[in-house]
Structure 1
Amino acid sequence: MAVPPIPQARTAVMVKAVRVPVLLDVVVGLLTAVALPLAVVAIPNTISIVAALLPPDIPPVSMMRAHGLALPAMLLTVPFAAIAVRRFRAAPVLVAGLTLLALADVAGGYAGSAWLVGVLRVLHGIGAGMLVPGTLAAVLERPRKSVLLPIWAGMLAASLLSAQALALWPLDKVQSWRVTLQPYPLLTGIALALAAAYLVLWLIRGDAERASAPTGAASADREGQAGTDAEVAAPLSAAPEETANRSSRAERVRLIRTAVPSAGIAVLAIGMTFDWSPNLVVIAAALALVVMLGLVATGTFEEPGGRALAFANVAVGLVVLPTAAQTTYLELGGVGGPGLSGIWLPFVLAAVSALLAALLAARTPLSLAFRLTNGGLAVVVAGLCAIRLLVPQPYGPPLVVPFVLLAAGAAVALVSALRLAGQGSALLGLSLCVPAVMAGFLLASGIQFLLLEEVSRSSDPNRQAVLGGFVDALHTGALAGGFVVVVVIVLASVLARRDGASGGAFSRGGAVRGEQVVIPAPTPSPEGEDGTTGESLTDR
Structure 2
Amino acid sequence: MAVPPVPQSRTATAVRAARVPLLLDIVIGLLIAAALPLAVVAIPNTISLVATLLPPGISHIDMMRMHGLALPAMLLTVPLAMLAVRRFRAAPMAVAGLIVLALADVAGGYANSVATVGVLRALHGVGAGVLVTATLAAVYERPRWRILLAIWGAALAASMVTAQALALWPLDGADSWRITLQPYPLLTGVALVLAAAYLVLWLIAGDARRDDEDGAAADSGSAGEDPAAARRRLVVVCLLGVVVAALSVGMSFGWPWYLVIAGAVAAVIVLLAFGALLPPEPRGGRTPAFAALGTGLVILPATAQVTIIELRGVGGPGLKELWIPFAVAAVVALGAAIGTALAPESLAEKAPSLGLVAVVAGLAAIRIIVPSPSGAPLTLPFALLAAGAAVTLLGAFRLARPGSALAALALCLGGVLAGFLLGTAAQVYQLMGLGEAVPTKLMVVNRFVEALHLWALATGFVVVAIIVLAALLARRSGAATAAAAGPEPARGDGEVVIPAPTRSPEEGGGLAGGPISDR
Asked if these proteins are the same fold (TM beyond 0.5), I'd say: yes
Tell me which residue corresponds to 2:460.
Answer: 482
Question: Is contact 2:509-2:517 (8 Å) kept?
Answer: no
Q: Quote how far apart the aligned CAs of 1:461 are.
A: 2.8
Partners of 2:144 and 2:178 in 1: CA distance: 41
Tell me which residue corresponds to 2:267.
Answer: 288
Question: Is contact 2:285-2:478 (8 Å) kept?
Answer: no
Tell me which residue corresponds to 2:492.
Answer: none
Question: Is contact 1:83-1:252 (8 Å) kept?
Answer: no
Tell me which residue corresponds to 1:221.
Answer: none
Question: Is contact 2:510-2:516 (8 Å) kept?
Answer: no
Tell me which residue corresponds to 2:70.
Answer: 70
* Change in 2 beyond 3 A, CA 1:533/1:377: closer
Moved more, 21-30 or 52-61: 52-61
Q: Which amino acid aligns with 2:321?
A: G
Partners of 2:485 and 2:123 in 1: CA distance: 41
Question: Is contact 1:143-1:533 (8 Å) kept?
Answer: no
Tell me which residue corresponds to 1:173.
Answer: 173
Q: Quote how far apart the aligned CAs of 1:166 are.
A: 0.5
Q: Which amino acid aligns with 2:18?
A: V
Tell me which residue corresponds to 2:391.
Answer: 412
Tell me which residue corresponds to 1:206.
Answer: 206
Segments of 5+ residues of structure 1 without an aligned counterpart are 213-239
Q: Quote how far apart the aligned CAs of 1:519 are.
A: 8.9
Q: Quote how far apart the aligned CAs of 1:536 are.
A: 1.1
Tell me which residue corresponds to 2:320.
Answer: 341
Tell me which residue corresponds to 1:433.
Answer: 412
Residue by residue over 1:458-483, the C-alpha shift from the partner in whole angstroms, topping out at 9 and shown as x without a partner, is: x5632222111101100000001100
Tell me which residue corresponds to 2:495.
Answer: none
Tell me which residue corresponds to 1:137.
Answer: 137
* Change in 2 beyond 3 A, CA 1:315/1:248: same
Q: Which amino acid aligns with 2:518?
A: L
Structure 1 segment 65-464 matched on structure 2, within 5 A: 65-208=65-208, 244=223, 247-248=226-227, 250-305=229-284, 307-457=286-436, 459=437, 461-464=439-442
Q: Quote how far apart the aligned CAs of 1:527 are.
A: 4.4
Question: Is contact 1:97-1:131 (8 Å) kept?
Answer: yes
- Report the 3-state secondary structure (helix = DSSP H, G, I; strand = E; otherwise coil) of the residue aligned with 1:536: helix
Question: Is contact 1:521-1:534 (8 Å) kept?
Answer: no
Partners of 1:92 and 1:365 in 2: CA distance: 34
- Report the 3-state secondary structure (helix = DSSP H, G, I; strand = E; otherwise coil) of the residue aligned with 1:464: helix
Q: Quote how far apart the aligned CAs of 1:109 are.
A: 0.8
Q: Quote how far apart the aligned CAs of 1:88 are.
A: 2.0
Question: Is contact 2:232-2:279 (8 Å) kept?
Answer: no
Partners of 1:333 and 1:515 in 2: CA distance: 65
Q: Which amino acid aligns with 1:378?
A: V
Q: Quote how far apart the aligned CAs of 1:244 are.
A: 4.7
Q: Quote how far apart the aligned CAs of 1:535 are.
A: 5.1
Q: RMSD between aligned alpha carbons?
A: 2.9
Q: Quote how far apart the aligned CAs of 1:245 are.
A: 8.7
Tell me which residue corresponds to 2:517.
Answer: 536
Tell me which residue corresponds to 1:30.
Answer: 30
TM-score of the two chains, using structure 2 as the length reference: 0.91
Q: Quote how far apart the aligned CAs of 1:513 are.
A: 8.1
Q: Quote how far apart the aligned CAs of 1:496 are.
A: 1.7
Structure 1 segment 465-476 matched on structure 2, within 5 A: 465-476=443-454
* Change in 2 beyond 3 A, CA 1:34/1:444: same
Q: Which amino acid aligns with 2:106?
A: V
Q: Which amino acid aligns with 2:466?
A: V
Partners of 1:534 and 1:450 in 2: CA distance: 45
**Identical columns (%):** 58
Q: Which amino acid aligns with 1:193?
A: V
Moved more, 159-168 or 78-87: 78-87
- Report the 3-state secondary structure (helix = DSSP H, G, I; strand = E; otherwise coil) of the residue aligned with 2:205: helix
Moved more, 54-63 or 129-138: 54-63
* Change in 2 beyond 3 A, CA 1:55/1:418: same
Partners of 1:344 and 1:475 in 2: CA distance: 23
Moved more, 83-92 or 298-307: 298-307
* Change in 2 beyond 3 A, CA 1:26/1:182: same
TM-score of the two chains, using structure 1 as the length reference: 0.87
Tell me which residue corresponds to 2:496.
Answer: none
Which of 1 and 2 has higher RCO (CA within 8 Å, sep 6+)? Answer: 2
Q: Quote how far apart the aligned CAs of 1:490 are.
A: 0.7
Residue by residue over 1:482-519, the C-alpha shift from the partner in whole angstroms, topping out at 9 and shown as x without a partner, is: 000000111111222222289xx9xxxx9998999x99
Question: Is contact 1:28-1:138 (8 Å) kept?
Answer: yes
Question: Is contact 2:41-2:164 (8 Å) kept?
Answer: yes
Residue by residue over 1:203-245, the C-alpha shift from the partner in whole angstroms, topping out at 9 and shown as x without a partner, is: 1111456799xxxxxxxxxxxxxxxxxxxxxxxxxxx99x959
Moved more, 243-252 or 257-266: 243-252
* Change in 2 beyond 3 A, CA 1:94/1:520: farther
Q: Which amino acid aligns with 1:120?
A: L
Moved more, 334-343 or 297-306: 297-306
Q: Quote how far apart the aligned CAs of 1:10 are.
A: 1.8
* Change in 2 beyond 3 A, CA 1:460/1:98: closer
Tell me which residue corresponds to 2:215.
Answer: none
* Change in 2 beyond 3 A, CA 1:533/1:80: closer
Aligned length: 503
Q: Which amino acid aligns with 2:275?
A: V
Question: Is contact 2:140-2:514 (8 Å) kept?
Answer: no
Question: Is contact 1:305-1:418 (8 Å) kept?
Answer: no
Moved more, 447-456 or 73-82: 447-456
Tell me which residue corresponds to 1:220.
Answer: none
Q: Which amino acid aligns with 1:468?
A: N
Residue by residue over 1:124-148, the C-alpha shift from the partner in whole angstroms, topping out at 9 and shown as x without a partner, is: 0000001111111111211112321
Partners of 1:513 and 1:497 in 2: CA distance: 15
- Report the 3-state secondary structure (helix = DSSP H, G, I; strand = E; otherwise coil) of the residue aligned with 2:4: coil
Question: Is contact 1:499-1:513 (8 Å) kept?
Answer: no
Partners of 2:224 and 2:349 in 1: CA distance: 30
Tell me which residue corresponds to 2:54.
Answer: 54
Q: Which amino acid aligns with 1:266?
A: A
Residue by residue over 1:387-442, the C-alpha shift from the partner in whole angstroms, topping out at 9 and shown as x without a partner, is: 00000111100000111111101111111121111212111111111111111111
Question: Is contact 1:338-1:394 (8 Å) kept?
Answer: yes
Residue by residue over 1:267-313, the C-alpha shift from the partner in whole angstroms, topping out at 9 and shown as x without a partner, is: 22222221111221221221221122122224322442351110111
Partners of 1:343 and 1:245 in 2: CA distance: 47
Q: Quote how far apart the aligned CAs of 1:199 are.
A: 0.8
